């Protein structure tokens, strides 16, 4: 039995807002007390800089920081030196695109991506392709809006140097068939970059098993704090990349005319990192592992199925993704702007996201101005869904009445 009630007790926001129906975990997850306590512990007990001080407190901060990297590595089944801390997914994917394209992308090369991408996966490569006269090519989506291996193969050729794809769409909740795409891309000489911002919090991601070359995610969507993200890269690729940021803590020796940089991953982490956040991310991983990702997945799927059952058949509602792989419902109330609908839900203490979700190409593909997104996570239960469904029905009624008045 998945004890949601007990889990909710760990999230202090429910103490302040007992009636909160939080269905926006796709944007960011709520934060449990142990993560907040761990960050507070750093600030109040050993809140000094890392890697610099030759005194006990600095050693302690450094140990905690290093331990967080080990936890992330274990979480992904990577080596510790393959884990680079960044500010978030956006930061990770931008840095990687700049570093990788420097020597590996030129005129006529192709970067293969999709219309399901979050802007942080798409736009860095769009800009690089523009500057380098490379081609940004899209995998056509199938009628359901999914990336398929068949369509991937149709547009893949020997000019493709980089495949940059989302693992799970933040709008549609669809999983990309990377288990087929990655070996095919490798056999044909391309690297694969995975945006896992909507994946790692929902199911086990094993980078060795997947065999992806690079992968990025954010701490704040997986019970961790904002301000910290992760870039994973295969050691042999990271060893070939040159940093784009230079400064403190990433160099070994500095001369008048040159700098010798540190080994990976430190050469990619210039300046004081978000120490408290990185330590907090380590604690978030402890929390996820304690509950168990598989248990979280099963629970969320159950709540998702319940929501779909309750929502299906409601007249005046369009659901765009009837069969999502992670618990995301993309929908609209017919003829109502998503922002107006979300404002009505807010009156009932229901938080859901409205708009294009930083993935405008998806809205364009769906031919709508934007969508409403209800995203479910481990602290949600059927009671949340019941309140949400009532609010949906009332919102539909309200707008029908307003239409009648006009
Ligand atoms: C699939 C996906 N990629 C990337 C991002 C960007 O994450 P961040 O804003 O933490 O950099 C998000 C955030 O919503 C996302 O859902």
329 C-alpha to ligand 1 centroid (Å): 17
From the CA of 85, how far away is ligand 1's center (Å)? 15
CATH architecture of 4-24+292-405: Alpha-Beta Complex (3.90)
Pairing of strands 83-86, 259-261: unpaired
Whether 82 lines ligand 1, by a CB cut-off of 6 Å, is no
Where along the chain do its domains lie? 4-24+292-405, 46-289
* DSSP strand pairing (229-233 vs 191-195): unpaired
Instruction: Determine if ligand 1 sits within 6 Å of the CB of residue 375.
Output: no
Task: Retrieve residue 295's tokens.
Answer: 């248990």
Tally of helices (H runs) and strands (E runs) in the chain: 15, 15
Tens of pLDDT along the chain (406 residues) come to 789 999 999 999 999 999 999 999 999 999 999 999 999 999 999 999 998 778 999 999 999 999 999 999 999 999 999 999 999 999 999 999 999 999 999 999 999 999 999 999 999 999 999 999 999 999 999 999 999 999 999 999 999 999 999 999 999 999 999 999 999 999 999 999 999 999 999 999 999 999 999 999 999 999 999 999 999 999 999 999 999 999 999 999 999 999 999 999 999 999 999 999 999 999 999 999 999 999 999 999 999 999 999 999 899 999 999 999 999 999 999 999 999 999 999 999 999 999 999 999 999 999 999 999 999 999 999 999 999 999 999 999 999 888 776 6
The answer to whether the CB of 114 is under 6 A from ligand 1 is: no
90 lines ligand 1 (CB under 6 A): yes
Number of Cβ within 10 Å of residue 56's Cβ equals 10
Q: Inter-axis angle of helices 275-291 and 56-76, to 10 degrees?
A: 40
Provide the terminal-to-terminal Cα distance of the chain, rounded to the nearest Å.
51
Q: Quick one: which of 216, 161, 147 has its CA closest to 190?
A: 161
Cβ contact 391:350 at 8 Å: yes
Residue 120 Cα to ligand 1 midpoint, Å, equals 7
Q: What is the DSSP letter of 201?
A: T
* Cβ(216)–Cβ(229) below 8 Å: yes
Q: What is the CATH number of domain 46-289?
A: 3.40.640.10
Find the 26 Cα to ligand 1 centroid distance in Å.
9
Q: What is the rounded distance in angstroms from the CA atom of residue 210 to the CA atom of residue 206?
A: 6
Quick check: is 358 catalytic? yes
* Spacing, Cα 157 to ligand 1 middle (Å): 29
Q: How far apart are CA 171 and CA 166, in angstroms?
A: 11
Whole-angstrom Cα distance, residue 201 to residue 24?
14
Ligand 1 close to Cβ of residue 291 (< 6 A): no
Ligand 1 mean position to 309 CA, how many Å?
A: 28
Model confidence, pTM: 0.97
Q: How many C-beta atoms surround the C-beta of residue 400 within 10 A?
A: 15
For ligand 1, whether the C-beta of 201 sits within 6 Å is: no
Question: β-pairing, 317-319 with 328-333?
Answer: antiparallel
Specify the pLDDT at position 111. Answer: 98
Q: Which residue in 237, 241, 230, 171 sits closest to 205, CA to CA? A: 230
Name the token pair of 221.
């969507």
**Cβ 88 under 6 angstroms from ligand 1:** yes
How far is it, in rounded angstroms, from Cα 313 to Cα 300? 22
How is residue 87 annotated by DSSP?
Answer: S
What is the C-alpha to C-alpha distance for residues 406 and 404, in angstroms, rounded to an integer? 6
Cβ(120) – ligand 1 distance below 6 Å: yes
Residue 357 CA, closest ligand 1 atom number: 14
Could you tell which of 85, 90, 324 is best to mutate to test the pocket of ligand 1, judged by most ligand atoms within 8 Å of the CB?
Answer: 90
Task: Given the residues 344, 351, 358, 368, select the one marked as catalytic.
Answer: 358
d(C-alpha 72, C-alpha 288), whole Å: 12
Residue 167 CA, closest ligand 1 atom number: 1
* Ligand 1 atom 15: residue of nearest CA: 197
Ligand 1 in reach of 86 Cβ (< 6 A): no
- Position in ligand 1 atom list of the atom nearest CA 195: 3
């Amino acid at each position: 039995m998945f004890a949601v009630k007990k889990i909710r007790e760990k999230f202090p926001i429910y103490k302040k807002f007992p009636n909160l129906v939080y269905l926006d975990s796709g944007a960011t997850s709520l934060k449990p007390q142990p993560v907040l306590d761990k960050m507070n512990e750093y600030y109040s007990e050993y809140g000094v800089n890392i890697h610099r001080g030759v005194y006990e407190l600095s050693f302690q901060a450094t140990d905690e920081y290093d331990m967080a990297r080990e936890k992330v590595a274990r979480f992904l089944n990577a080596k510790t030196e393959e884990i680079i801390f960044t500010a978030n997914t956006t930061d990770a994917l931008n840095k990687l695109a700049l570093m990788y394209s420097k020597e590996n992308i030129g005129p006529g090369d192709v970067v293969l991506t999709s219309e399901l991408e979050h802007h942080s996966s798409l736009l860095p490569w769009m800009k690089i392709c523009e500057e380098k006269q490379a081609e940004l090519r899209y995998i056509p989506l199938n009628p359901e809006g999914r990336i398929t291996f068949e369509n991937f193969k149709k547009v893949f050729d020997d000019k493709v140097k980089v495949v940059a794809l989302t693992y799970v769409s933040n709008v549609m909740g669809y999983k990309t068939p990377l288990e087929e795409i990655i070996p095919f891309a490798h056999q044909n000489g391309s690297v694969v970059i995975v945006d896992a911002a909507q994946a790692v919090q929902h199911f086990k991601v094993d980078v060795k098993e997947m065999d992806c070359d690079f992968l990025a995610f954010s701490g704040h969507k997986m019970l961790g704090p904002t301000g910290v993200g992760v870039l994973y890269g295969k050691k042999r690729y990271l060893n070939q990349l040159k940093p784009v940021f230079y400064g403190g803590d990433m160099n070994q020796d500095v001369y008048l005319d040159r700098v010798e940089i540190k080994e990976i991953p430190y050469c990619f982490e210039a300046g004081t990192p978000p120490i408290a956040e990185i330590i907090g991310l380590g604690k978030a991983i402890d929390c996820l592992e304690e509950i168990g990702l598989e248990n979280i997945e099963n629970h969320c799927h159950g709540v998702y199925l319940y929501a779909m059952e309750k929502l299906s058949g409601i007249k005046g509602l369009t659901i765009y993704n009837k069969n999502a792989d992670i618990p995301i419902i993309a929908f609209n109330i017919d003829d109502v702007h998503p922002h107006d609908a979300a404002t009505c839900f807010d009156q009932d203490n229901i938080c859901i996201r409205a708009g294009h979700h930083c993935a405008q190409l998806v809205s364009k593909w769906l031919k709508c101005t934007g969508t409403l997104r209800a995203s479910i996570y481990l602290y949600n239960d059927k009671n949340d869904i019941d309140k949400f469904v009532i609010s949906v029905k009332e919102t539909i009624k309200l707008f029908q009445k307003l239409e009648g008045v006009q």
